[in-house]
Amino acid sequence: MKFIVSTTTLLRNLQTVNGVISPNTVLPILEDFLFAIEKNSLTISGTDLETSITTKMEIESKAEGKVAIPARILVDYLKTLPEQPLTVSIDEETFAVEITTDRGKYKLNGENGNDFPRIAAADEVSEINLPSGVLQKVINKTLFAVGNDELRPQMTGVYFQLNADGVTFVATDAHKLVRYKRLDSKASSSTSFIVPKKALNLLKSNLPGEQTQVNISYNSSNAFFSYQNVQLACRLIDARYPDYNAVIPTENPNKLSINRADFLNTLRRVMIFSNKTTHQVLLKIKGNELMVNAQDLDFSNEANERLECSYDGEDMEIGFNAKFLLEMLNAMDNEEVSLELSTPTRAGLLLPTESEEAEDLLMLVMPVMMNV
């Protein structure tokens, strides 16, 4: 079994797949790429049993067959090579792999490709298409709010709600929540599912430019994201998502508008002086002035900074975890943002003052009791 391929093309496809591969002492074959050769086509797959990525590329070959090749050594080797054609030969009995370049030969042990775990197939699925730029926006605006608590698996992924009116994406870790709606994408039937964090992180690093359409197909157990020559499949989180609408306060009479970059930079500076465990900051709002205060009593550190804002409401003092506010402000791209509040013990809403016609973004952050 033999094929010829370009080094840069092969490396680019391997790097797309490589993100899903992680060390595995129980099933060492999961540390391999699966190469499936079918005449002039090479399909490369990788999986961790929960998530898999497959790419397809053209090669010069008349052979057919499968082989599993160790991922780390192959990627490390290809990174050192300049652009040139490679000849890859596989012994069909021992699965030994020999790579020939214009300067030398390199050998490594492969494994029987038939022993590689089966990659999930998109059977009996429903579909929706999203531009890759929109999906990238969805991931950027929600992924930071996903939880890491394995005892609450439903919060360790992003909740996709698809219906005929639009699509909604929700992420929460019980301290912060993001709800991002797109009105320019609609599904033929209503459904919902939870996509794991790892799959979305892989998409985030691999998605192409804004004009590419991403086909999202799904059934009761898996979701499939297909674009260009790539397909990512992931097992959905089998859990019931919490009723997020119940925690979003509807009456918020105190409304503050402020420049996003100014607020962001102030929080970055002030947080340095806050408690390193809680990251607590106190917001004091009076008239059109916002005071941001932080203290670390253990080390006698303290910071105060004043900002101009536009405020309609009663004078208020409310505490937040500055790290959460920073994550939210970093995920927004508006010049001005609005902070809507009711009382110092109820959740605050961070909203863009202006947004695209097709999108609706809401971020919620729980307050903290201040030790000052």
pLDDT of residue 371: 57
Q: Give residue-wise pLDDT tens across range 141-172.
A: 999 999 999 999 999 999 999 999 999 999 99
* Average pLDDT over the chain, rounded to an integer: 95
Q: Three-state SS string across the chain, please? A: CEEEEEHHHHHHHHHHHHCCCCCCCCCHHHHEEEEEEECCEEEEEEECCCEEEEEEEECECCCEEEEEEEHHHHHHHHHCCCCCEEEEEECCCCCEEEEECCCCEEEEECEEHHHCCCCCCCCCCEEEEEEHHHHHHHHHHHHHHCCCCCCCHHHCEEEEEEECCEEEEEEECCCEEEEEEECCCCCCCCEEEEEEHHHHHHHHHHCCCCCCEEEEEECCCEEEEEECCEEEEEECCCCCCCCHHHHCCCCCCEEEEEEHHHHHHHHHHHHCCCCCCCCEEEEEEECCEEEEEEEECCCCEEEEEEEECEEECCCEEEEEEHHHHHHHHHCCCCCEEEEEECCCCCCEEEEECCCCCCEEEEEEECCECCCC
pTM greater than 0.85: yes
Question: 117-123: long-range contacts (C-beta < 8 A, 24 or more apart)?
Answer: 117/27, 117/29, 117/30, 117/47, 117/49, 119/34, 119/45, 119/47, 119/52, 119/54, 119/233, 120/52, 120/221, 120/222, 120/224, 120/233, 120/235, 122/217, 122/219, 122/222, 122/224, 122/231, 122/233, 123/219
Quickly state the pLDDT bin for 288 (edges 50, 70, 90): very high
How far is Cα 146 from Cα 160, in angstroms, rounded to an integer?
A: 13
Mean pLDDT within 241-261: 96
Q: Give residue-wise pLDDT tens across range 321-333.
A: 999 999 999 999 9
Architecture of domain 248-365: Roll (3.10)
Task: Answer yes or no: CATH 3.40.50.620 is held by domain 126-164+189-244.
Answer: no
pLDDT of residue 369: 82
Asked if residue 73 has pLDDT above 70, the reply is yes
> What phi-psi label fits residue 360: left (phi over 0), alpha (psi between -120 and 50 degrees) or beta?
beta
Quickly state the pLDDT bin for 372 (edges 50, 70, 90): very low
pLDDT of residue 370: 67
Q: Give residue-wise pLDDT tens across range 262-272.
A: 999 999 999 99
Asked if residue 336 has pLDDT above 50, the reply is yes
pLDDT of residue 186: 87
Burial of 346 (0-12, 13-18, 19+ CB in 10 A): middle
The fold of the 2-115 domain, in CATH, is: DNA Polymerase III; Chain A, domain 2 (3.10.150)
pLDDT of residue 39: 84
pLDDT of residue 297: 87
Q: Give residue-wise pLDDT tens across range 3-31.
A: 999 999 999 999 999 999 999 889 999 99
How far is Cα 170 from Cα 159, in angstroms, rounded to an integer?
A: 5
Asked if residue 229 has pLDDT above 80, the reply is yes
* Neighbouring C-alpha atoms within 13 Å toward the C-beta of 66: 16
CATH 3.10.150.10 in the chain, residue ranges: 2-115, 126-164+189-244, 248-365
Quickly state the pLDDT bin for 356 (edges 50, 70, 90): confident
Asked if residue 210 has pLDDT above 80, the reply is no
pLDDT of residue 194: 98
pLDDT of residue 188: 83
Asked if residue 231 has pLDDT above 50, the reply is yes
How far is Cα 113 from Cα 237, in angstroms, rounded to an integer?
A: 28
Mean pLDDT within 184-212: 92
Question: In terms of Cα–Cα distance, which of 174, 335, 170 is closest to 264?
Answer: 335
